[in-house]
Structure 1
């Protein structure tokens, strides 16, 4: 039986492919040495005894790690970005603090003054200033790289003093909802900026924030992305933010950089007239204009101005070289950072410890430094020694050196940067000077250091075996970026091996393909590869396909994805796997609740018992999630059923099968208890459950329901909903056919 090889560019047919047993064995040994090695993959399609059902907690930990790894939001030079749905999910919260940690970062008055000196007004900026002054809250919805932070700081400086502006930041989702709950603590007289990233935003939240900000004499500017944040639905509190004319941005920054140049220049003929003429010539140049037309962001134009200012005394004929130098700046910086030399008896050689740590720092941008140290140690102390001759052994280990020596200043983000992060991070995190530098390092490591390819594959494989979910997710994403550079090689020697291994590796293989699909050139090839897994005789590849459909790849064609998941769900090979339920849950939460709920209703009434079990597992996962950031204590499934009687009927069928199932009843009863407790703080939900719960618990579940309600009444004596349902059951309960 042949394993699925790399799908050809124009087809997804299954093909045979040779493995790389030597490299794979070495990677397994690396993972085993750390005590967390994966199980050996099955060599045939025979289903070995196993139990991998998992639960909602596994799904939640994985999705939280995905949300914390924001690579999909970064504009990449090495990999073209593609459009995708923004995933947002809140766990069900019952009457308690959401536990979100919010950091308050002060912006220095010097930083504000520099922003005001170089800021270029954008379209509708006077209207923005007027709305912020009147409403105390303003939402700027625009594309990343359009200068939203600069506009936000400028607007806040017009409403409050320069030394009273702060940034509110949280690595978790739902920062604005947490801010509403803790406004008395966090909002003080002054200005505040919050960057939502790709999180959605509702009008009710903005209105609440405006009221709280006015009460605290504070001014709040919220930055969001077009799509998740729709300015038309948030009027009059939101404005679409468009980037300023890039020619004006270049002019003001070039003039600022060259303002004091004549006095410090060694050239005798350098004068203010010379710098003014140079600036005018650059702004009139067609080459410069074409470069501005392709600039990805306002920040990149500022960097372009710095490069031009350094070439003020170069001949015009070298302008093309200067522009090329700017375009290739990150790649050259990446090569420079990896060329760390030390003198030995054999001459200058690369310091493997420092080089490994810099690679880890770049790859784990945005992660806590503890992750960087852990990943760097695996690469330096475990993986690289098997590929190098180190005699004598290095006497100076990487972690005995200071961070400032390991990571040069040109690689790290400045402490004074206005972007979120820096020394106030808790825990302290890896922050690159430019997010795109990570992708440049990946490209250089793969293309310029051929001897690093095998260690890199082995390193990523060892990282996928680590216990921290966020480390496994980032390793899978790096593998996905590598697929965009060399799909055939990376799939053959890395991803295919992962797809045929343990659950953690199969999940990483699916996530790697999702990352690769952000490259428009690879979308069809990725879909073909997943379909090839679906048709494989080996259950591990089938399971990997099921997991891959629970990503943005699956969200791009929901009908086809639901067909594929149903096909996989009918198979005996996946009867004990939670992958189908995980993907169905992800589709529901990622923006396709209607089609997914319809499919679940068909599955729960299907004659195929495997489909019914997958539907029950999906219910148990989704029942843990709230309806959104504004209604964290209302179950998302109940919220949909409250407005649709057909959804309510389907929900009754799902609950009854789950409560009666031998493998699911314990968790199902506990989740039903959580729903009833959540209704104590939600009158609408309580009224809904008072009619729904009796239908769910009708015969033959009546006696068991009485037992559980009695037990819950003892554990939660203050729960009005439990007390009401218990009394209703004692008075005769629902009619025998109430659960039809």
Structure 2
């Protein structure tokens, strides 16, 4: 087939009505707002990463944080589904590397392997939960989940379980033990075996089991390991192999030995593990001669009274504001946090008067970064959150004690009237600022505050943000509500608020915020009812709502490494490709697909050599995540090809589709494997004459570099694939 003329790809025209006039298009209302409706490369992944980091930094309890991306959905309708927290890769590494096996551990592992349900019983301080995690891991389970301590064992069903996972339920009560009958054990055994899962329950020695058939499942903890060994293991794991010599040197110091004697006297395995963590964190922040003192300071700040005394006795308002800034925005660069702290200081500063003059001219600058951080127990650490472009963030500021942030935030909200008055406005302006990551952290802080008064936070923060014209502020309201929904007693209130915002009488802004709070609905209702709810919102012809749906469906595809991508693609296919649900939902489906296509990026496994131009084999390759999916999964390749076929031909979205597809070509231009994946996908896409014509026009424009968007190798690769299929030389 001869190559088509170069230039812009053709766009579909509206079909004429039978009388010769152009039929009115109900999607016309979206056209004016469509030009800005584009996914920003890497934005959703960055937003989810920062949210996860912020929740972790404010120490939301483990049974309230869900899944690899902080969320596991209750897929059963209602609120009775199984709530669980999946251990992160770092926590699994801690299980592998930092657990000190007690005598008899191998025998315990064999007991766990022999059955699907094991009750691990022991005295307080023997490390029952750590032993349960390590036992399941040694039994072959590479994914571990912690069940909500309030989980009803009678409600666990196969649909709640992840194949091959190990589950731990800590702190079995006597009432739950009484309900664990032989019948219930048999039912649990069948459900767990069907999914190749095991469950370990931990209980204290006081919990008794009356039925001898149940007692057969009880294994006594063999006893904890030596406390100093546990300290050394956790300290060594956190400092790393390269610091092994320093770890041994520190543990031999007289002041550290004295600290161990003080803290471990009467303490259990958990105390020893915490002390190992504290010593490692201190070692990462100060020199050897300060490690013991630093660890003591952290312990001294753990109590609420100690935090109150510490804040009250700070030298001045700037110090207090910096501490609050780190509590809320820890994880951002020091310069950003310091600027936000100064903003809060200005809001709280008393007016100028003879007794409170402005700073006199010529007064020297005081307070270096190091001195200011030392005064508030802050430190600089390497960020674990990547940027949306794949690079590292560098040094960020946090408290030396990871548990201090939430204590500071909750204390100042509860005790300081002036700060409570200023905080909503400060968080609002931060959330609506130019840095999206700062906005996410402000939102998480607002959600954490909701545990102390949901109605106050709803009236002063959530409702005003949700009704704002600023999309970033509406996003912040949705994130805050999602965090609040996971606090005890507020899940139902958060859900009812989302439902109220999604009502037909609500403003477009509130409806858009409801669409952004989709995770609250999924957690409460399960997938089928939540999809029906999103389907309802997709029938609203308002640009803010459509944009919110685009962002939310993109996030759904990004969660947990793409685990839910097939579900989202199926919904988009129903809206955009089948056309069964009307022209408006077709347009929404097209735009949501293109938003995700432009936003989501991925680093495929390195199976080839360096980039073709200047890169090295160690550099991360960035592909569109949906392109990566087509290389791994033939079913998703067909679904994504179908959506590309629909959008490049669409009278509504073809311009955006051509731009996003060009972005894909430019992104994979340096990578031969990426170019091959794109060409293979577009070969599947161009199954009809019109689509092939459009794809050829686009590929030719990449070759020629029309409008400065050149990707000549990508374009040649696509044309070669199409020529090979058609037999054209």
Q: What's the secondary structure of 1:380's corresponding residue?
A: helix
Instruction: Find the counterpart in structure 2 of residue 619 from structure 1.
Output: 593
CA contact (8 A) 2:41 2:601 kept: no
Alpha-carbon distance in structure 2 between the residues aligned to 1:486 and 1:296: 34
Alpha-carbon distance in structure 1 between the residues aligned to 2:441 and 2:604: 26
Deviation at 1:669, TM superposition (A): 1.5
The TM-score, its normalising length taken from structure 1, stands at 0.56
CA contact (8 A) 1:626 1:636 kept: yes
CA contact (8 A) 1:546 1:583 kept: yes
CA contact (8 A) 1:84 1:552 kept: no
Instruction: Find the counterpart in structure 1 of residue 100 from structure 2.
Output: 122
> For structure 1, which segment, 353-362 or 487-496, has the greater mean C-alpha deviation from structure 2 after superposition?
353-362
Aligned residue runs from structure 1 range 572-591, under 5 A: 572-574=541-543, 577-590=546-559, 591=563
Alpha-carbon distance in structure 2 between the residues aligned to 1:570 and 1:84: 30
Matched, 1:711 2:701: yes
CA contact (8 A) 2:332 2:396 kept: yes
C-alpha distance after superposition, 1:73-117 (max 9, x if no partner): 6275675652323249xxxxxxxxxxxxxxxxxxxxxxxxxxxxx
Matched, 1:533 2:529: no
Instruction: Find the counterpart in structure 1 of residue 317 from structure 2.
Output: 352
CA contact (8 A) 1:65 1:469 kept: yes
Change (3 A) 1:384 1:402: same
Instruction: Find the counterpart in structure 1 of residue 68 from structure 2.
Output: 86
Change (3 A) 1:704 1:399: farther
Instruction: Find the counterpart in structure 2 of residue 210 from structure 1.
Output: none
Deviation at 1:367, TM superposition (A): 1.3
Q: What's the secondary structure of 1:84's corresponding residue?
A: coil
Deviation at 1:374, TM superposition (A): 1.8
> For structure 1, which segment, 568-577 or 54-63, has the greater mean C-alpha deviation from structure 2 after superposition?
54-63
Instruction: Find the counterpart in structure 1 of residue 656 from structure 2.
Output: 667
CA contact (8 A) 2:539 2:584 kept: yes
Matched, 1:723 2:701: no
Alpha-carbon distance in structure 1 between the residues aligned to 2:364 and 2:101: 50
Change (3 A) 1:339 1:683: closer
CA contact (8 A) 2:538 2:546 kept: no
Alpha-carbon distance in structure 2 between the residues aligned to 1:420 and 1:531: 35
Instruction: Find the counterpart in structure 2 of residue 516 from structure 1.
Output: 484
C-alpha distance after superposition, 1:432-458 (max 9, x if no partner): 111111101001101111232111111
1:412 to 351, 357, 378: 378
2:369 to 403, 410, 415: 403
Matched, 1:393 2:375: no
Matched, 1:433 2:400: yes
Alpha-carbon distance in structure 2 between the residues aligned to 1:685 and 1:49: 32
Deviation at 1:531, TM superposition (A): 1.9
Aligned residue runs from structure 1 range 138-537, under 5 A: 245=225, 247-248=227-228, 285=266, 288=267, 297=274, 299=276, 329-340=302-313, 351-381=316-346, 383-385=347-349, 391-395=355-359, 401-409=367-375, 411-413=377-379, 427-501=394-468, 502-535=470-503, 537=506
Alpha-carbon distance in structure 2 between the residues aligned to 1:72 and 1:81: 16
Instruction: Find the counterpart in structure 2 of residue 103 from structure 1.
Output: none
Change (3 A) 1:420 1:613: closer
Q: What's the secondary structure of 1:51's corresponding residue?
A: helix
Alpha-carbon distance in structure 1 between the residues aligned to 2:60 and 2:573: 43
CA contact (8 A) 1:616 1:654 kept: yes
C-alpha distance after superposition, 1:258-294 (max 9, x if no partner): 98589xxxxxxxxx9xx99x969x8675xx55xx668
CA contact (8 A) 2:332 2:397 kept: yes
Matched, 1:654 2:643: yes
Instruction: Find the counterpart in structure 1 of residue 626 from structure 2.
Output: 637
CA contact (8 A) 1:709 1:726 kept: no
Change (3 A) 1:468 1:596: same
Q: What's the secondary structure of 1:597's corresponding residue?
A: helix
Alpha-carbon distance in structure 1 between the residues aligned to 2:231 and 2:602: 48
Instruction: Find the counterpart in structure 2 of residue 601 from structure 1.
Output: 573
Instruction: Find the counterpart in structure 2 of residue 61 from structure 1.
Output: 43
Deviation at 1:338, TM superposition (A): 2.4
C-alpha distance after superposition, 1:536-576 (max 9, x if no partner): 52211110011111579669833333222111111123576
Alpha-carbon distance in structure 2 between the residues aligned to 1:626 and 1:688: 19
2:56 to 74, 79, 87: 74
Matched, 1:568 2:518: no
CA contact (8 A) 1:146 1:297 kept: no
Alpha-carbon distance in structure 1 between the residues aligned to 2:352 and 2:225: 52
Instruction: Find the counterpart in structure 2 of residue 689 from structure 1.
Output: 681
CA contact (8 A) 1:79 1:519 kept: no
Change (3 A) 1:653 1:575: farther
CA contact (8 A) 1:360 1:375 kept: yes
Alpha-carbon distance in structure 1 between the residues aligned to 2:309 and 2:507: 45
Question: How big is the alpha-carbon RMSD for the aligned residues of Structure 1 and Structure 2?
Answer: 4.9
C-alpha distance after superposition, 1:42-97 (max 9, x if no partner): xxxxx999837744444733541442454356275675652323249xxxxxxxxx
Q: What's the secondary structure of 1:329's corresponding residue?
A: coil
Change (3 A) 1:526 1:244: farther
Change (3 A) 1:688 1:51: closer
CA contact (8 A) 2:44 2:558 kept: no
Instruction: Find the counterpart in structure 2 of residue 156 from structure 1.
Output: none
Instruction: Find the counterpart in structure 1 of residue 205 from structure 2.
Output: none
